[in-house]
Amino acid sequence: MSDSDLFARARAWAADDPDLRTQQALLQNIALASSGDDNALDELASAFAGPLTFGTAGLRAPLGAGPARMNRVVVMQAAAGLANYLLTNHADGCAVVIGFDARHQSDEFAAATAQVLTGYGIDAMVLPRPLPTPVLAFAVRHLGCAAGVMVTASHNPAQDNGYKVYLGDGCQIIPPVDAQIAAGMQAASRRPVREIPLGGNWVTLSDQVEQAYLDAVTGALVRTSASGVRCVYTPLHGVGGTVFEAATQQLGWPAPEPVDAQFVPDSDFPTVAFPNPEEPGALDLAVAQARATNPDLVIAHDPDADRCAVAVRDEHRATDPTASGQWRMLTGDELGAILAWWLAKSSTAPGSVLAQSLVSCTLMESIARSAGLGYERTLTGFKWIGRVPDLRFGYEEALGYCTQPTVVRDKDGIAAALAVLACTAALRDQGRTLLDVLDEIAYQHGLYRTAQVSIRVRQINQIPQIMRTLRTAPPERIAELPVQQVIDLANGWQGLPPTDGLILDLGDANRVIIRPSGTEPKVKCYLQVVEPVTTDLAHARQVANQRIEALQSAMRARLESW
């Protein structure tokens, strides 16, 4: 696109933009770019590089004007696309429930969605305040809606926002529905946004929906008393705090010990560089408080409380003896294995299934088989995991856990945190800890170690180039391990639909999976090594740690070379 075409598109957008803030910011950027400001020109080109598409978790992008950004125009077009889909498939009428978190403009985007849906004659109900994503996912089925919308960018940076769409089954949209909604969204983008019909008679719901969620999530919990378990807790400036507190209160458990500086929702996330519990430093304040107050656990939620992180005292298991007794965060795969073990022990329903995403640690398959339960592997995202028939528990390594699929068919950080507290209490009655469970699992199934390496790209078109290079010239060895097989997931694999990714099979369950992120401009590598355990678990742990670190170094060097 030439500069003149870019400026013309941008001016046309500004003329149609109903939001004066983004309109004025865009006009200022056009003026700067026209006067030779290269940074302004780059930002303008990026904002108009193409329309947003539904990825692993819906639409996500930085806030700002343009079709590749999150703004009122894009939200209205997305709502129009959803409305057209619903009118085609629910000719007799239907309703949509809309939730939102505490990010910048989330409430405005929720209201704009309700305006558009009611303008098309669809009943719209909006949750009464910023609430966690799992409350919205619960509300879809609880209220008998045909769809749900959650305005959130989950764990993305403060400048981002996003848009998730759920169907009546309480799961996020999958093909071909995403393409059908996107087609309606594109059709709406071809005419002035002011031509989209708007209504004003939506319903603002009461707190009864939140209470119904709390009743369901506490009622479905594996029953045990956690009356003596203490946890330091942070919602990372998100919306999980009061809901998690209410759940523990309803159960009669001790209130979480809040990290006060991070408890109140704040859309700027002032104490963390990146509001993702997986990121280094995100739990620093919580761990510092834990060192001072000596709780049983540290629990963290991401800003929309659909993910759950847990930190524990490392005790005698630290690779470095001087680090004994220090706090460390469990990996998503470690907590997934613990919850799978815990929920499998309590599952008596025949045909119950444990499910996980393709990139998660394969240890859970062994746990499921040994417990006599079914096992399913899915593509990345709970839009796939939540739809597994007879699901008992599902997880993905990015701290997402579905512990109560009869309540929420999506990842639910509130329910996961309650399950962790219940499990911790039951183990403590036996004189055991979560780390003791990991040791038991290692002796029975082998010691699994997983890690990630990722690179963030400046231009989204770099990702297909990197994947193309890997497909045409895959490595023959990685960290001295020979690549025994290259599996191109674009061709489908073991019954899974095609997806953009590669598996580098290193033998003996060791592997590297490479795929583009579905929520950020990143290429991600998922690493796994497995070390058999006979009697010396400490030695097996040391060997596995060395091997995973070698794989990390090798893949980081390879990715950074691009």
Residue identified by tokens 């998503």 is 332
Q: How far apart are CA 122 and CA 120, in angstroms?
A: 6
3-state secondary structure of 396: strand
Count the helices and strands in the chain (H runs, E runs): 18, 22
Cβ atoms of 447 and 173 closer than 8 Å: no
Token pair for 74: 């894009």
Question: Which residues, 6 or more positions from 479, have their beta carbon under 8 angstroms from its beta carbon?
Answer: 547, 550, 551, 553, 554
- Indicate which residue of 46, 106, 154, 360 is catalytic: 154
Q: What are phi and psi of 451, to 5 degrees?
A: -160, 170
Q: How far apart are CA 202 and CA 207, in angstroms?
A: 16
Residue identified by tokens 């609430």 is 131
Q: Tell me the residue ranges of DSSP E strands in 131-289.
A: 147-151, 160-167, 203-204, 231-234, 257-258
Q: How far apart are CA 310 and CA 422, in angstroms?
A: 13
Q: How far apart are CA 247 and CA 487, in angstroms?
A: 44
Q: How far apart are CA 512 and CA 529, in angstroms?
A: 9
322 class by beta-carbon count within 10 Å (0-12 exposed, 13-18 middle, 19+ buried): exposed
How far is Cα of residue 389 from the mean position of the Cα atoms in its chain? 21
**Among 181, 394, 175, 207, residue whose Cα is nearest residue 306:** 394
Q: What is the 3-state secondary structure (H, E, C) of 473-510?
A: CCCCEECCEECCEEEEHHHCECCECCCCCEEEEEECCE
2 labelled catalytic: no
What does each C-alpha distance from 90 to 95, 174, 222, 228 come to in angstroms? Answer: 10, 18, 38, 50
182 class by beta-carbon count within 10 Å (0-12 exposed, 13-18 middle, 19+ buried): buried
Q: Give catalytic residue positions.
A: 154
